[in-house]
Each structure stands twice: as C-alpha cells, then as structure tokens.
Amino acid sequence: MTLSDYLPPDLRERVRVTGHDATRWSLYERDAYDAILLDAPCSSEAHLVRQPALLADWSPARSRQLAMRQYAMLAAALDAVRTGGFILYATCSISAEENDGVVARLLERRAGRVECCRPDWQTGEATEHGQALLPDRTGEGPMYAALLQRLS
C-alpha cells in the first residue's frame, strides 16, 4: 500500500482509508477530522505531456465537469472536518477553473464557514487562493494547493 511506503508507522496508524464516494462523504461522517488532504481527480496536464495519447480525452468541457466534481468533494470535506480543522485541497492541473475557481466557489457559497490560510510556502508562485508549481517556471508540476480552515 502506498501509505505504508511513505508514512512512518506512528502516522500510518492515524490514517483511515474508506471507500466512500468523496462527493457524498459528509453523509457518512460529519465533524470527524482535524485535517483532510483532498488530492482531487483533475485534468492532470502533466500526464498529457508524458503520454500524448491521453490528449484525445482532454477538452474544456472535461475540465468544467472535473471542477464541478472537485467542488462537490471540497464541500463534503468541509462538512467532514471539525470546526477549526484544515483542508489541503490539491490538484495536478494548470486549470484555474479546477484550482482557484473551485476554492473561490466554496468561499462564496460557504461564506463565514471557511477561510483561506496563506502559509509561507517557499516554492512555486502565489495564486489568488493558493500556490502553484508550474513546469515552465520550476521544471516541476503542475501542482496546485490551497489550505483552508473551517470556521464554523
């Protein structure tokens, strides 16, 4: 299991893996976690560069559909994390719609319940709500992350 490969045993014991549909997660667990890492399924442009055959599946419509799914996952994660808890929302997309767009939608629709935190990340570049590693600038990525805290 990948978690066993990367996490020391004391941390691995604190991680629980479920088979819940992440868009409906809060139906099963509410106010249950101190922190959530949401590594959302995305358009994965890095894979398109490495595997050109995947380019045939890419389209602007696909990115819009993914953004809707990502928003549903992020909204469910907000209900699953405890008040005061954190969500790290991450993608490997360069799409603003899938990145800051998803976070902006949550901040608008759940105003007063969540805020963006601006950690001092030493790599990448700041976006409106998060941080991005872009291949043309760093030679790595793409990678996007935004740190959110549940307020109520």
Catalytic site positions: 92
Is residue 43 within 8 Å of residue 63, measured between CB atoms?
Answer: yes
Q: Provide the pairing of β-strand 131-133 with 125-126.
A: antiparallel
Q: Which helix (H) or strand (E) holds 48?
A: helix 45-50
Nearest alpha-carbon partner for 108 in 138, 78, 87: 78
